[in-house]
Amino acid sequence: MRKMIYRVFLLSVILIHTPGLLSSQEKLIDEVAGVVGSNVILFSDIETQYLQLKAQGNILGGSQLRCQILESLLFQKLLLNQAELDSVEISDSRVESAMDARLRYFINQFGSQEKLEEFYQKSVLEIKEEMRELVRDEMKISEVQNKITENLQITPSDVKEYFTSLPPDSIPLVDVEYEIGQVVKNPPITVEELSRTYDKIKALRDRIIKGDNFSTLAILYSEDPGSAGKGGELGMFNRGTMYPEFEAAAFNLNKPGEVSEIIKTEAGYHIIQLIERKGEYINVRHILIQPKVSPESMELARAKLDSVAQLILEDSLTFEEAVLRYSDDPNRISGGMIINPETNSTRFASDQLDPSLFFIVDQLDVGEISQPVRFLTDENKEAYRILYLKVRTEPHRANLLDDYDKLKNWARADKQDALINDWINEKIEGTYIKVNEKYAGCTFINNWIPSTQ
C-alpha cells in the first residue's frame, strides 16, 4: 500500500499547534531546519513534536522519526505557502471559536483552568495569544488541503479495483466485530421530584439575587461535574454548542453579572450568569440541579423492559417492532442500533466497546437479547436497556462482501494520498525549498531536496 504522508501530516498539525508543548524548564537551541517559500521550519519545531511523540510511546526514534516529522512540516509549510498565494482568509470569529474549543479540550485534559495555567506558567489569555496565529495558519492549511481532495469520488468499481490490487498477504486482517441494538427505557420522573428540584434551584437563585456569590454556590451545589469545581464557569462558546434552551437564555443576557431566569433542559434546571461577551461568543457560569430518579421509578422501567423482552422471546414482537413501540433511545428510528462514534457506523471492534457492554453482548448468541440491564445514558442519567446482538463476525481477512465500508474508506484514503502526492510533486517544482544539510541523509517520500541544492 502507498506510503501515506497525509496521515503523518494530520498528526503533525495537531501536535505543532498545541501551546506550550515544552514546559518552561525545557530549552531548545534553535536553528533553521528548512524553508518553504517564506515559511521557516526551526529545529525546535521538530524537537517539540519529537519529544511529544516519544512521551506518547512512539516506538520509532532518533533520525528516522525526526525525518518523518520534518517531511510532515515541509508539507504543512507548502500548504501554507499555497494559502498565501491564493489569499486564503480566515475570519477572526472562526479563529476564536477554534481556540475556545481547543482550550476547553486542554482544560478538560488537565482537570481545571488553574492546573493548565500552572503547568505552562502562563495565563489562558497568554496561551490564546500564542495560539491565535498558529490556529489561523492551521485553518488556512486545512482549507487548501480540503480543496485538493474536494472533488474526490469513490465508486463501487474503485473499491473493487483497490481491493483486487492488494497482494493477498497485504489484505488487512479484521478482528471480531459486533453490531448491537438496544431498547431503552428511561425511568419516569415524578411531578413531586420535579417540584422539589425547581424549588431547590429557585432558592439558590433567590440567594444570588440577594447578594450571595454565584461561584461559591455553584461549587457547593451545582450538579454539573464538569464546571462545578470552576464555580460553574463554562468558558467561551458560540451558538450551536449547548442545549437550545440554555443558549437562548445565555445569549439573552446583556450585562456581566446578570442572572437568568430558571431554565429547563434535558439535563435539568439551570440558572446562568453572564461573565463576558466577545462578538458572537460568550462566557457564562451556571448552576445545574437535576431531578433524581426514585428506586420505584427505576423498578418501573426495569419491569416494563422485562415484559418487552418476554414478548420478543415469545415471538409476539420482533426486536425492530419493540424499538419503535417502546424505546426511549433517540436512535429508535434507525432500528435502535448503537452507533460507533469513532467510525459513525454500527460496527464495533472489541476494544471499542465499553467493558460493561462487551461483557454482556459477548455472552449472547447472534439474534439473542439480554435481560434488562442498568446503564448511564449519554446525558449521564440512569436508565435500563435490553441489548440485542445482531452480528458477531469471525476474525478474517477483509473481503468485499463483509467489509465493503472499510474497503471504501481505505480506497478513499489511498486515492486522497495519491492526489496529495501528485499535488506536492507539482508544487515542489515551482516553490523555493531549502532543507538544512543536517537532514541530507533523510529518505523522504517526496523530493524535498533537489539535486541542485
Evaluate whether residue 163 is within a structural domain. Answer: no
Query: Is the domain of 103 the same as that of 10?
Result: yes
Average pLDDT of the segment spanning 404-414: 92
pLDDT over 60 (residue 5): no
Query: Which residues are CB-contacts of 70 (< 8 A; sequence separation ≥ 6)?
Result: 33, 34, 41, 46, 435, 439, 442
> Do both 181 and 234 map to the same domain?
no
Of 259, 289, 319, which residue is a domain's last? 289
Assigned domain for 248 exists:
yes
Say which residue the cell 481556540 belongs to: 99
How do strand 348-349 and strand 433-435 relate by DSSP bridges?
Answer: unpaired
In a domain, 74, yes or no: yes
pLDDT at 50: 86
Predicted confidence (pLDDT) per residue in 161-173, tens digit: 999 999 999 999 9
Instruction: Match 421509578 to its residue by C-alpha cell.
Output: 297
Provide the percentage of residues in the chain whose pLDDT is more than 90.
61
Query: Region 55-74: what's the mean pLDDT?
Result: 80
* Cα–Cα distance, 26 to 13 (Å, whole number): 21
Do residues 53 and 73 touch, judged by C-beta distance below 8 A?
A: no
Mean pLDDT for 65-75 is: 92
Q: What is the mean pLDDT of residues 361-387?
A: 91
At 226, the pLDDT band (50, 70, 90 cuts) reads confident
Is it the case that residue 298 has pLDDT exceeding 90? yes
Q: So what's the pLDDT on residue 14?
A: 41
Same domain flag for 221 and 280? yes
Both 125 and 35 in a single domain?
yes
One domain for residues 217 and 235: yes
CA nearest to 438, candidates 425, 453, 423, 420? 453
264 & 304 share domain: no
Structural domains in the chain (count):
3
Same-domain pairing of 206 and 339:
no
| Same structural domain, 181 and 198 | no
Distance CA 359, CA 375 (A): 13
Whether residues 229 and 126 share a domain: the answer is no
Average pLDDT over residues 248-263: 95
Same domain, 278 and 309: no
Q: Pick from 24, 23, 28, 77: which is nearest to 55 by CA?
A: 23
pLDDT of residue 58: 59
Task: Compute the distance between CA of residue 57 and CA of residue 60 in angstroms, rounded to an integer.
Answer: 9
Q: What is the mean pLDDT of residues 228-257?
A: 90
**Is residue 446 in a domain?**
no
Cα–Cα distance measured from residue 6 to residue 90, given in angstroms and rounded to the nearest whole number: 23
Structural domain boundaries enclosing 255: 191-289
- Final residue before a domain boundary, out of 289, 311, 340: 289
Q: What is the dihedral of CA 32, 34, 36, 37, to 10 degrees?
A: 40
Confirm whether 448 is domain-assigned. Answer: no
Q: What is the CATH number of the domain that holds 149?
A: 1.10.4030.10
- 412 and 343, same structural domain? no
Q: Are residues 75 and 127 in the same domain?
A: yes
Question: What digits encode the pLDDT tens for the residues 76-97?
Answer: 999 999 999 999 999 888 888 8
Average pLDDT over residues 127-144: 91
Give the SS3 label for residue 437: helix
Pairing of strands 268-278, 348-349: unpaired
Mean pLDDT, rounded, for 272-278: 92
What are the cell numbers at 388?
440485542
Does 400 reside within a domain? no
Q: Does pLDDT of 59 surpass 70? A: no
- Average pLDDT, integer, range 6-10: 42
Q: Is pLDDT of 3 > 60?
A: no
Instruction: Read off the DSSP letter of residue 2.
Output: -
| pLDDT beyond 70 at 13 | no
Residue where a domain stops, chosen among 289, 305, 329: 289
Residue 313's pLDDT is 93
Dihedral in degrees, nearest 10, Cα atoms 236, 240, 241, 245: 100
Query: Does residue 321 form part of some domain?
Result: yes
- List Cβ neighbours of 172 (8 Å cut-off, separation of 6 or more): 397, 398, 406, 410
Whether 148 is in a domain gets the answer: yes
- CATH code of the domain covering residue 208: 3.10.50.40
